[in-house]
Amino acid sequence: MVKRLKLQKLWNLVSENEQRFFESTAPTEQQFVNATWRIETLHLLLWSLNTVETDASLSEMCSVEDVQAVFDFFLSDSGNFIKSSELRLVDEIDSYNEQIYQAHWKVRDAQINGKAIPDKLMPSVIKERHYAINWLTGYCGQEWDDVTTDT
């Protein structure tokens, strides 16, 4: 992975935390768990570029196969992928941002008050998508490794 990213001249765009993970010869179990959940952030970012669709209900995990198909193409030909990428309309991103924010608040409210999580919402899916959309929209000017998911 590191070789591919360096060959594609993308390594300098990989965050410090991600570089440590990729370069680690023995990642911790928590690092693997965190990396696995990042598929949801990657899915949202690919959605924002009109390359995958998303489950707007926030009650299901994303399609790993959809992400894998785009990811394989991206790593093999990042230049064409970048040139052909087109960001969704700001209104569409803002609308999904609001939907994610409201869903995250419902989850946190339920957790804080010892209630059942409503609407079959998946807390981890929502948190990861909230993370990605906050970065995408420049929430508080935070860098990738420092993004918060305030509600």
* Helix residue ranges per DSSP H, the chain: 2-7, 16-23, 29-48, 64-76, 78-84, 90-112, 123-136
Which of the 8 DSSP states describes residue 2?
Answer: H
Summarize pLDDT for 90-148 with one digit per residue, the tens.
999 999 999 999 999 999 999 999 999 998 999 999 999 999 999 999 999 999 999 99
Exposed, middle or buried, 30 (CB in 10 Å: 0-12/13-18/19+)?
Answer: exposed
The answer to whether 62 and 37 are in contact (CB under 8 A) is no
Confidence tier at 37 by pLDDT (50, 70, 90):
very high
The pLDDT, as a whole number, for residue 40 is: 94
Whether residue 9 is predicted with pLDDT greater than 90 in this model: the reply is no
Exposed, middle or buried, 80 (CB in 10 Å: 0-12/13-18/19+)?
Answer: exposed
> Average pLDDT, whole number, for the chain?
91
Whether residue 12 is predicted with pLDDT greater than 70 in this model: the reply is yes
The answer to whether 38 and 147 are in contact (CB under 8 A) is no
Confidence (pTM) = 0.90
Q: Classify the C-alpha dihedral 121-111-94-42 as positive or negative.
A: negative
Residue 71 identity: F
Whether residue 67 is predicted with pLDDT greater than 90 in this model: the reply is no
Cβ within 8 Å of residue 37, ≥6 positions away: 124, 128
